[in-house]
Amino acid sequence: MKRFLIALVLPLSLWAQNDPLTWQKHVVLDTLIGIKKLAIANLDLDANRDMDIALTANPESNGSEDSTLANVLWLKNTGDEIFEAHVIDYKLAGARGLAVGDLNGDGWPEVAAGSRSDSSPLMIYKNDSTPDVGTWQRIAVQGPAPNHYEILMVDLDQDGRLDIVDGFGDDANFGSANSGIVIDSIRFLKNTSSLNQLSFQHKLIVQTSSPSAMAVADYDRDGLQDVAGLSWINYASLIPAAGENFKWWAQQTDTTFLEMQEIIDSYGGNDLQAADMNDDGYPDLVAAGYKARTLDLWLNDGTGTFATRLTIDQNLAYPRHVSVQDVDSDGDMDIALTIDLENKIVWYENDGLLNFTRHVLDSAFTYAYFVHIFDLDGDGDQDVIGTAQDAGVLAWWENGQAEELIAAAGAPDTLRFNQNQLLIKYDPSFPGGMTSAHFNHGKNPDSLQMAAGIERVAGAGLYTIVSHAAFYSATAVFKYDSIAEWQSLRNIDEGRLRICYWNDSLAIWQLAGNGGQAVDTTKNEISVLDISAEFHKYAQFTLCLSTGPSIVGNDPAPLVPVKIEHRAYPNPFNSQTWIHFTVPQAAQARLQNVRLSIYNLLGQQVKTIYEGYLPAGAYRFLWNGNNHRNRAISSGWYFYRLSVGAEVVQGKILLIR
């Protein structure tokens, strides 16, 4: 069914107030004239989870190809957000669209880029696992694709693979619909790649003039991913024209798409993001109305109808790109925007009732082009990253919400965070260093992904804790009585409360710590013992409910039913180490399921040393420092993870070549 509705425009008054957050600006590049879009990913999969940045740039402007000027780059994060530039392609003049993601399932993210050029196809650059060594393999896909401004990597057909949704066309070069040389389209490139070969099946989503942006979400809540898009008719005019519309198309069960609503015509929007802005469970749409000179929010009424338009800001010159995320960690979605001719990058604070306050991050960001909200430094609060086209600048604004404390070497005093709601005590072997902690009131999107032994995980309220020490062993005490987001679990059975850690390698919530946990229902706190690897960038902790046992009152004993002895010797080691452990006597079984594996600091499995059933007793297994392909791995810290029945322990080992 196609829906035609008149949008209700409700301008919202903006009160410029002092920014509630503190920001520190970091300039990464300042000489890349014509810089365009950016994308963030761990392109080299380094063990410290340092996020890298991919970029497109058009230093040639309207000139011809110059093979000495970089068009596609990536910036290697060498640690602590210090970046090292590497060129991916010198031969994509007019580079614009950009996306990053693992397309062939080998774990290494590819880079896709598009160009303004009339003859350029979609270019995909294959990551061979050594992105900072040699050249990237350059693969042309489905061309020509002129004015290739938007590329998305998303699992559109929900088959577990990242597909590509992109838009291109040249109608806007000629000033009217269907006037160009190519057929202007939004298309779906279904991913059919194998591990060694990238391949795609071309499917048309819709023919529409010169798409400037798309956003993918399930707008009608039927379980299928839909597509919304913006179109342009005339690049030569800044006055919105008929046909420069905003529509969305619903995916059908055969992966065809049906137009459902023209949300607005004569708009000339440049960017689009889907997000649940009013916390009703339905994706809304935030748009940068470039020609309309507005920042707008269209609310989804729950059926996929966008009837209410909230104009957040207006009379802008000219709003180019938008990003949506919870900037201030209060649980509702905020907005960042670039306004190119005003040279501004700003963010809009949502009070939870869709009243927005504008805060200017930079008013001298010459021709502010692109913006992205992302936790670049991994400390739990959201940073803002932006490009300034004419200044040639890539910069990021560090959000100062995360608390940072430095502990001296030895037996440091207890570190106290979040108004004494989180206490961290390091063991006497602590070498000294900074620890940061941040509490986010926002939702937990993965609350249903649980390891065995966990009944429920809090749906909101997340800690991020990062230790910058080279090694550590710590006890963390989490107080839960004053955290509103955790009270529903507390009311079920306080004695079964635990702290869970998000294992990003296994994509599950599991019990935190290596030494068990102790619940004190008198003090309303949970102690997590022997934490030695979980305080890393992007680490997340939250409250969960175990399947048992329930402890009522004050019990300082760790909540572990059995004790598994384990150690590695020698440690550190050069060529081989023995991992010793005991399998305790089980109450109801003679044999227990045992698995011993090695992981790197990124949480990726390096090798499984043993998997099978063992009776109670003492064992030792040899690891020679090789991976599952029997190839020698590099020096560094690794972890062995031992599971015996339902119990899991781990230890840290240092390989020195």
51 and 173 assigned to the same domain:
yes
Give the residue from 18, 21, 22 showing the smallest Cα distance to 358: 18
Instruction: Yes or no: say if 135 and 120 are a contact pair by the CB < 8 Å rule.
Output: no
pTM here is 0.83
Instruction: Yes or no: say if 170 and 182 are a contact pair by the CB < 8 Å rule.
Output: yes
Is 609 part of any domain?
Answer: yes
192 and 78 assigned to the same domain:
yes
Q: What is the CATH number of the domain that holds 594?
A: 2.60.40.1930
**pLDDT above 60 for 12:** no
Average pLDDT over residues 87-102: 97
Strand pairing class (257-264; 3-4): parallel
Average pLDDT over residues 77-105: 96
Last residue in a domain, options 207, 231, 248: 207
Average pLDDT over residues 331-354: 97
**pLDDT above 90 for 295:** yes
Last residue in a domain, options 546, 580, 599: 546
| Measured CA angle at 238 (ends 237, 240), to 5 deg | 95
* Whole-number pLDDT of residue 632: 86
The residue among 583 and 188 whose pLDDT is bigger is: 188
* Whole-number pLDDT of residue 553: 44
506 and 593 assigned to the same domain:
no
The count of structural domains within the chain is: 3
Q: What is the CATH number of the domain that holds 533?
A: 2.60.220
**pLDDT above 70 for 1:** no
Q: What is the SS3 assignment for 92?
A: coil
Structure tokens given for 457: 């995980």
Instruction: Yes or no: say if 265 and 244 are a contact pair by the CB < 8 Å rule.
Output: yes
Is 635 part of any domain?
Answer: yes
**pLDDT above 90 for 417:** yes
477 and 605 assigned to the same domain:
no
Confidence at 81, pLDDT banded by 50, 70, 90:
very high
Structure tokens given for 189: 């490139």
* Whole-number pLDDT of residue 14: 56
**pLDDT above 90 for 315:** yes
Average pLDDT over residues 312-336: 98
**pLDDT above 70 for 645:** yes
Maximum CA extent, the chain: 79
* Whole-number pLDDT of residue 550: 58
The residue among 632 and 306 whose pLDDT is bigger is: 306
Residue 548 half-sphere exposure, CB side, CA atoms within 13 Å? 1
Instruction: Yes or no: say if 151 and 170 are a contact pair by the CB < 8 Å rule.
Output: no
Is 63 part of any domain?
Answer: yes
Residue 450 zone, left/alpha/beta (φ > 0; ψ -120 to 50; rest): beta
3-state SS of the chain: helix, strand, coil percent to 5?
0, 50, 50
Which string of DSSP letters, residue by residue, matches 304-349? Answer: S-EEEEEEEEES-S-EEEEEEE-TTSSSS-EEEEEETTTTEEEEEE
191 and 118 assigned to the same domain:
yes
173 and 102 assigned to the same domain:
yes
Instruction: Residue 86: count other Cβ atoms within 10 Å of its Cβ.
Output: 17
Is 229 part of any domain?
Answer: no
Cis? peptide before 584, omega within 30° of 0: no
505 and 541 assigned to the same domain:
yes
Last residue in a domain, options 172, 207, 242: 207
**pLDDT above 60 for 2:** no
* Whole-number pLDDT of residue 565: 84
What is the residue type of 452? Answer: A
483 and 429 assigned to the same domain:
yes
Is 62 part of any domain?
Answer: yes
Is 47 part of any domain?
Answer: yes
Average pLDDT over residues 429-442: 95
Which residues, 6+ apart, have CB-to-CB distance to 59 below 8 Å? 32, 33, 34, 66, 69, 70, 71
Structure tokens given for 41: 């990913």
Domain containing residue 468: 412-546
44 and 184 assigned to the same domain:
yes
Which residue's entry shows tokens 């071309």? 202
Range among 132-136, 232-236, 446-450, 619-623 rated most confident: 232-236
**Alpha carbons 310 and 304: distance in angstroms, whole number:** 16
631 and 519 assigned to the same domain:
no
Share of the chain above pLDDT 90, in %: 75
538 and 647 assigned to the same domain:
no
- Integer-rounded Cα radius of gyration of the chain: 26
**pLDDT above 90 for 411:** no
How long a stretch of residues is the chain?
657
Structure tokens given for 403: 């608390």
539 and 585 assigned to the same domain:
no
Is 321 part of any domain?
Answer: no
Instruction: Residue 593: count other Cβ atoms within 10 Å of its Cβ.
Output: 13
Is 641 part of any domain?
Answer: yes
